[in-house]
C-alpha cells in the first residue's frame, strides 16, 4: 500500500479514537460531578469544585514553569484556596447579594499578598512585574472565573423546603458548553474547510463554529423542554438566546486556552484525562460560559 494512502487511512481513525476517548472521559467525569451535585450534600459539591479548581490552577502555573515564565505558584495556590473556601461560605450562608464585599476584599487580598511576596525577592529589571502579573492572571483567569459555578448554585432561590435548585442551572450550563464543544469538534472534523483563527488554533474552522452554535441551541431548547419546572426562571426566548450566547462563549473559552497553550509551548495542560488532557482542558470553556450564565440570570432574568 502506498505511504500516502496509509496515512490518509490513519488520519480519520486517529480522529475517531480521539473523539471516543474525549467523549468517554467527559461523560465519566461529569457524571460523577453531577451525582455529587444532585446528592444534596453541599460540602461534597464544594470539595469537588475546590479540588478541580486548585488542580486547574496548579496546571496553569505548571504551564508557565514549562516556558520558564516567573510566578509565585505556592502564593497563588494559597490565595486560590482561601478564595474558594470563603466564597463557598459567603454564598451558601449569606446569599449572592451580600457577598460582593467579600469578593472585592478577595481581589484586594490578591494584590496585597502578591506585592508582599515580591518584597522578599530581588529586583531584576522587569522580572518582578512579570512575576506578579503571571501570578495574578492565573488567579483571575482560572479560579475567579471558575468560581462562578459556585455562584450559579446559590444565585437561584432555594425551594420552599430549603433544597438547592441552582444545581439544575449548573447542569444546564455544563450541558450546553459540552454540546458546543462536541458540535464544533464533529462539524469541524467532518466538513470544516475554512480556518477560523489559524494563528491561534489551526484546527478551528468557521464550519465548526456553526456546528457549535447549532448544537448548543438545540441542547438549550431540549433541556428547557425536559426540565421546565427546574429551569422555571427561564422561558423559551431565554433558552434560545442563552443557547447561542453560551455556545459562542464556549468557543471563545476554548480559543482563550489555546492562546495560553501556544504561548507556553504545551499541547495539553495535563495528561490525566484520556482524549482531553488536563483539568484546564476540561473546563476551559466553562470559564467563560459560567460567568455569562450567572450575569444573564442576575441582569436579564433578574432572579431574586
Query: In sequence order, which residues have a C-beta less than 8 Å from that of residue 286 and are 6 or more positions away?
Result: 146, 149, 173, 174, 177, 250, 253
CA distance 176 to 221: 10
Which pLDDT score is estimated for 135?
94
Q: Which residues pair with 273 in a beta bridge?
A: 277
Which pLDDT score is estimated for 165?
83
Which pLDDT score is estimated for 65?
93
Specify which of 109-113, 159-163, 199-203, 268-272 reaches the highest per-range mean pLDDT. Answer: 109-113
Indicate the range of 42-56, 225-239, 279-293 predicted with least confidence. Answer: 42-56
Which pLDDT score is estimated for 148?
93
CA distance 142 to 82: 14
Indicate the pLDDT class of residue 2, thresholds 50, 70 and 90.
Answer: very low
Query: pTM of the entire structure?
Result: 0.88
pLDDT of residue 43 exceeding 70: yes
Indicate the range of 97-101, 135-139, 274-278 predicted with least confidence. Answer: 274-278
Which of these, 127, 68, 56, 132, lies nearest to 265 by C-alpha position? 68
Indicate the pLDDT class of residue 139, thresholds 50, 70 and 90.
Answer: very high
pLDDT of residue 10 exceeding 50: no
Specify which of 25-39, 85-99, 248-262 reaches the highest per-range mean pLDDT. Answer: 248-262
What burial letters (b/e) apply to 201-223, b meaning 16+ CB within 10 Å? beebbebbbbbbbbbbbebbeeb
Encode pLDDT of 202-242 as tens digits: 888 899 999 999 999 999 999 999 999 889 999 999 999 99
pLDDT of residue 155 exceeding 90: no
Indicate the pLDDT class of residue 17, thresholds 50, 70 and 90.
Answer: low
Which pLDDT score is estimated for 279?
84
pLDDT of residue 7 exceeding 60: no
The radius of gyration of the chain's CA atoms, rounded to the nearest angstrom, is: 20
Spell out the domain ranges in the chain.
22-301
Which of these, 91, 88, 94, 103, lies nearest to 47 by C-alpha position? 88
Please say whether the beta carbons of 156 and 297 come within 8 A.
Answer: yes
Encode pLDDT of 69-119 as tens digits: 999 999 999 999 999 998 888 888 877 766 778 888 888 999 999 988 888
Average pLDDT over residues 16-34: 68
Amino acid at each position: 500500500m502506498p505511504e500516502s494512502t496509509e496515512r490518509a487511512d490513519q488520519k480519520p481513525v486517529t480522529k475517531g479514537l480521539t473523539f471516543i476517548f474525549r467523549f468517554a472521559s467527559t461523560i465519566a467525569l461529569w457524571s460523577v460531578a453531577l451525582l455529587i451535585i444532585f446528592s444534596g450534600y453541599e460540602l461534597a459539591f464544594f470539595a469537588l469544585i475546590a479540588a478541580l479548581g486548585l488542580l486547574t490552577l496548579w496546571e496553569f502555573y505548571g504551564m508557565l514553569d514549562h516556558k520558564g515564565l516567573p510566578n509565585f505558584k505556592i502564593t497563588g495556590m494559597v490565595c486560590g484556596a482561601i478564595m474558594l473556601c470563603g466564597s463557598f461560605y459567603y454564598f451558601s450562608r449569606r446569599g449572592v447579594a451580600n457577598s460582593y464585599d467579600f469578593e472585592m476584599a478577595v481581589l484586594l487580598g490578591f494584590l496585597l499578598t502578591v506585592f508582599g511576596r515580591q518584597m522578599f525577592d530581588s529586583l531584576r529589571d522587569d522580572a518582578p512585574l512579570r512575576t506578579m502579573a503571571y501570578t495574578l492572571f492565573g488567579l483571575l483567569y482560572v479560579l475567579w472565573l471558575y468560581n462562578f459555578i459556585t455562584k450559579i448554585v446559590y444565585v437561584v432561590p432555594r425551594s420552599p423546603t430549603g433544597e438547592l435548585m441552582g444545581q439544575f442551572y449548573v447542569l444546564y450550563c455544563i450541558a450546553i458548553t459540552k454540546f458546543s464543544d462536541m458540535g464544533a469538534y464533529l462539524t469541524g472534523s467532518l466538513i470544516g474547510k475554512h480556518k477560523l483563527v489559524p494563528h491561534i488554533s489551526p484546527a478551528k474552522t468557521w464550519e465548526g463554529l456553526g456546528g457549535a452554535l447549532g448544537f448548543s441551541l438545540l441542547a438549550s431548547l431540549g433541556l428547557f423542554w425536559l426540565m421546565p419546572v427546574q429551569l422555571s426562571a427561564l422561558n423559551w426566548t431565554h433558552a434560545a438566546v442563552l443557547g447561542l450566547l453560551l455556545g459562542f462563549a464556549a468557543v471563545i473559552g476554548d480559543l482563550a486556552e489555546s492562546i495560553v497553550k501556544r504561548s507556553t509551548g504545551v499541547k495539553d495542560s495535563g495528561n490525566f484525562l484520556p482524549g482531553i488532557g488536563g483539568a484546564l482542558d476540561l473546563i476551559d470553556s466553562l470559564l467563560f460560559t459560567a460567568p455569562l450564565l450567572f450575569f444573564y440570570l442576575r441582569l436579564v432574568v433578574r432572579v431574586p
